[in-house]
Structure 1
Amino acid sequence: MIATDTDVALQRLLEQGRARAALIDPHHVLLWEALEAATQGGKRFRPMLVVATHDALGGSLPEAAAEVGAAIELLHTALVIHDDVIDDDHVRRGAPNVSGTFRSYARAAAAGPDDVAGYGLTAAVLAGDLALAAAVRATATCGAPPPVVHRLLDLLDSALHTTAAGELADVRLSMGTDVVTLAESLAMEECKTSAYSFDLPLQAGAVLAGAPSSTAERLGSAGRMTGIAFQLVDDLIGVFGDPVRSGKSTTSDLRTGKQTPLLVHARSTPEWPRIRDYVGRDLSADELTDVRALLVAAGSRRFVEDLADQHLAGARSTLADLGVPATLLDGITTRSPELVDGSGEAA
C-alpha cells in the first residue's frame, strides 16, 4: 500500500515520541511501541476527511493538512485507548491492546493478578495521555498561519470537551438508575463519536482551506449527522458484527448494558422481557445467537439501520451542497461486510 502524506506525518510523530522515550527508560520505549501498535489497522478516514475537505475547498496548505490529519488520528488513538480502559477491554482488532500487552509483560515477570491488572491499566492511561499530548502539539506546530492554528486548537479543544461529556454520559446512562430515552441515547452518541471523528476533521479541513465560517459550520453539521450514523452502525457491529472482520467484541455492549439506541428501542417492544435476560452478563455463542434473533424479531435492528440511513442521507446532501464529495462517506453503511444477520450469517 502506498503511504499517504498523513501516514508519513503520523509515522514521524510516533518516531519522535519513541526517540524521546529512548533517552529516558527502556520500559518507556515499550510504551511507545504499544502506542504505535495501537495506531495500526485503522481505516484512516479521519485524516482523509481533513485532506479531502481542504483540497475540495481549494486549500493551499497540503503539508499542514497532512499534519493536522495525523494529529487527529493520534487523538483518535488516545480516545480508543482510554475507551478500552473505561470498558475494561484488553483486546482490540483481534490482538492485545495497550493494557493487554502490558498485562502480558507483567505475567512474564511473574507478577500477581492485582499487579498484572494494575500494570496494564497504568500503561493504557499513560499511553492515551501521551497520544493526546502529541496530537495537541502536532496541531500547534502544523505550520499553518497563527490565526488558523488558533482556530484549529479551538476546534480540537471543543471536540475534546464534547467527547469527554459523551463518554461520561455513556457510563452514566449504563448505570441503570433511570430509563433512558432515545433522544438521550442519540445525544450521547453524537457527543461521543461525532465531535472528534467527523465534525472536527471536516471543519479543520475547511479552516485550513480558508473557507468562510458559514461553510465550516455547515460541514460541522454534516459531521454530526455522519457521526451519529457511524456510531449507530458501530452499535450494530457491537452485537451483530463478525469479530474476525471487525476485531470488535460482539458481547461487550450487552455485558456492560450500554444504552445504545438498539437497546433503548428494544426496551419499548414486547420482546424486551426476554431480551433483558441477556443484558448485563457474559454470553455464550448460543446465547448471542438467541439475543440477536430476538433483536431482529423486535424490529430493533431494522429501526437502527433506518435511523443510520436517514442521518447519512442528510450528511451526504449537505456535503454535496458545499462541493465536498459525498463519496467520502461511502464506507459508512448499514450493509457493512462486518455485519451478520440475526442468524449469524453474513449480511
Structure 2
Amino acid sequence: MTHDHDAAVQARLDAFFASRAARMAARGADDLWTALRHASDGGKRLRPRLVQAGAVACGGADADHSATIGAAVELLHTAFVIHDDVIDGDQTRRGLPNISGSFAHDGARVGAAPDVARRYGEAAALLAGDLALAGAVQLVARCGAPAERVARLLDLMDDALLDSAAGELADVRATLDDSLPVAEVLRMEELKTAAYSFSLPLQAGAVLAGANEEVVTEIGEVGRLLGIAYQLRDDLGGMFGDETSTGKNPLSDLREGKRTALLAHAATTDAWDQVRPHVGDPDVDTAALARVRHLLTECGARTSVEQLADQHERAARERAILLGSAGAELIGAAWLAHDLAWSAA
C-alpha cells in the first residue's frame, strides 16, 4: 500500500510541475521552475506517508484525495526548506548547491559581484518557495474531497502556516538570547517543525477519512509529540552526526548560532563559557567542533536531549493508546516512515 501511495503522490507532483512548465517558460522563468522541481525531488516522503497513516487509522480515505493532499504537504515542506535555507544563509543542501547557490553561481558566471550574485540567488529561492507554497494551497483547494472536508483541510494548513512562521521567527530571535530556556526551545521546535511535518499530515489524513473533531485533535497531539522528538533527534544528528548520513554540514548550526536544546542545556552549566565563543562564529572549524562536541557530552547536554527525545516518543505512544487501533496504526506508520531516529525502548 505504501509503495502505491508513494507512486500516486509522485504522479500528483509530476502533474503539478508539468501543468505549469509551459506557462513559466512563456514568462521567461523556466529555469526557476526547473530549479523548484529539482528541489522537490528525493526525500523519504515522510509527510505524505503520514497523511496516509492518518487516513488509514481512521477507516480509510479516497486514494486520489489522499495522494493529492500528500503532494500538497510535500510541496509545503519544499517551500519551507527553500525559505529556511535563505534565512540561514545556506547555499548548499546535502552537499549540492540549493536554489540560492545555483542561481548565485549563475550570477557570478556572468560577471556579477559576489554580493549581487548572492542577492540574485536569494531572490530566486524566495520566489521559488512562494510558488511552492501557493501550489500547496491550490492542491488542497482542488483535491476533490467533499467541500466541508476541503474547508477543514484549508484551516489546518492555515494553522500550520501561522505556526511555522511564528516558529521560524522565534528560531532566528533565539540567536540573540543566550538565556533561552530549554522549554522555550521545545516550544519553538513545536511551532517550526512539529506543526507542519507531523500534526498537519496526520490530521489531514484523519479529516479525509471523516474522523470527528475530537479524534482529529487527539491525532494532532500525537503528531506534536512525535514532531518534537524528531526535531530533537535532528538537532543531535546535526551536532554529532556526519554530513554523509544527515545531509547537513555539522558546522552549520554552530556557525549560524542556532539555538538548540543542546545549547540551551549547556548554557545552564559551567561548560557554557567554553562553548559560547564558538556559537555564531562563521570561522568555526572541525577542531572547534570536536571541542564543542566533547563539552556538550561532558556537561550532560547530549544525554539530556536524548532523554527528552525518548520522553516525547514514549508520550506519543501513550497518547496514541487512547486512540485504540487508530493509535497503533499511527505509531506503526511513523516507525515505518523512518525519518524518525526512534529509540528501541
Please give the range of the TM-score, normalised by the shorter of the 2 chains: over 0.9
Deviation at 1:186, TM superposition (A): 0.9
User: For 1:185 and 1:20, how far apart are their aligned partners in 2?
Assistant: 43
8 Å CA contact retained: 1:99, 1:123: yes
User: For 1:237 and 1:19, how far apart are their aligned partners in 2?
Assistant: 40
8 Å CA contact retained: 1:163, 1:196: yes
User: For 1:334 and 1:108, how far apart are their aligned partners in 2?
Assistant: 44
Q: Which amino acid aligns with 1:129?
A: D
User: For 2:317 and 2:10, how far apart are their aligned partners in 1?
Assistant: 26
Mark the runs of 5 or more structure 2 residues left unpaired by the alignment.
none
Deviation at 1:135, TM superposition (A): 0.2
Q: Which amino acid aligns with 1:204?
A: A
The structure whose RCO (Cα within 8 Å, separation 6+) is larger is: 2
User: For 1:32 and 1:315, how far apart are their aligned partners in 2?
Assistant: 39
| Structure 2 residue 294 is matched with structure 1 residue 286 | no
Q: Which amino acid aligns with 1:306?
A: Q
Aligned-partner SS, 1:41? coil
Aligned-partner SS, 1:234? helix
User: For 2:201 and 2:107, how far apart are their aligned partners in 1?
Assistant: 38
> Which is helix-richer, 1 or 2?
2
Aligned to 1:15: 18
Aligned to 1:254: 254
8 Å CA contact retained: 2:50, 2:334: no
Q: Which amino acid aligns with 1:240?
A: F
> CA 1:328/1:60 → structure 2, altered by over 3 Å: closer, same or farther?
closer
User: For 1:115 and 1:272, how far apart are their aligned partners in 2?
Assistant: 38
Aligned to 2:8: 5
TM-score normalized by structure 1?
A: 0.92
Within 5 Å, which residues of 2 pair with 1:91-240?
A: 91-176=92-177, 179-240=179-240
Deviation at 1:335, TM superposition (A): 6.0
Deviation at 1:261, TM superposition (A): 0.8
> CA 1:320/1:20 → structure 2, altered by over 3 Å: closer, same or farther?
farther
User: For 1:278 and 1:175, how far apart are their aligned partners in 2?
Assistant: 14
> Deviation string for 1:214-257 (max 9, x for gaps)?
11000000111111111111111221121012211211211222
> Deviation string for 1:189-223 (max 9, x for gaps)?
11000110001001100000001111100000011
User: For 1:76 and 1:267, how far apart are their aligned partners in 2?
Assistant: 31
User: For 1:189 and 1:212, how far apart are their aligned partners in 2?
Assistant: 27
Deviation at 1:42, TM superposition (A): 1.1
User: For 1:224 and 1:183, how far apart are their aligned partners in 2?
Assistant: 15
Q: Which amino acid aligns with 2:332?
A: T
Aligned to 1:328: 333
User: For 1:120 and 1:149, how far apart are their aligned partners in 2?
Assistant: 35
8 Å CA contact retained: 1:57, 1:211: yes
Deviation at 1:320, TM superposition (A): 4.1
TM-score normalized by structure 2?
A: 0.93
8 Å CA contact retained: 2:36, 2:99: yes
8 Å CA contact retained: 2:194, 2:227: yes
8 Å CA contact retained: 2:57, 2:206: no
8 Å CA contact retained: 2:310, 2:343: no
Q: Which amino acid aligns with 1:329?
A: A
Q: Which amino acid aligns with 2:124?
A: A
Deviation at 1:172, TM superposition (A): 0.9
Within 5 Å, which residues of 2 pair with 1:259-270?
A: 259-270=259-270
Q: Which amino acid aligns with 2:199?
A: D
Q: Which amino acid aligns with 1:172?
A: R
Aligned-partner SS, 1:210? coil
User: For 2:31 and 2:237, how far apart are their aligned partners in 1?
Assistant: 31
> Deviation string for 1:277-333 (max 9, x for gaps)?
221213211221111111111111111111011101111233344223212222212
Q: Which amino acid aligns with 1:161?
A: L
Aligned to 1:341: none
8 Å CA contact retained: 1:14, 1:36: yes
User: For 2:193 and 2:121, how far apart are their aligned partners in 1?
Assistant: 25
Aligned-partner SS, 1:4? helix
Aligned to 2:56: 55
8 Å CA contact retained: 1:305, 1:334: no
User: For 1:36 and 1:156, how far apart are their aligned partners in 2?
Assistant: 22
User: For 2:9 and 2:60, how far apart are their aligned partners in 1?
Assistant: 16
8 Å CA contact retained: 2:179, 2:267: no
User: For 2:179 and 2:296, how far apart are their aligned partners in 1?
Assistant: 19
* Aligned CA-pair RMSD: 1.6
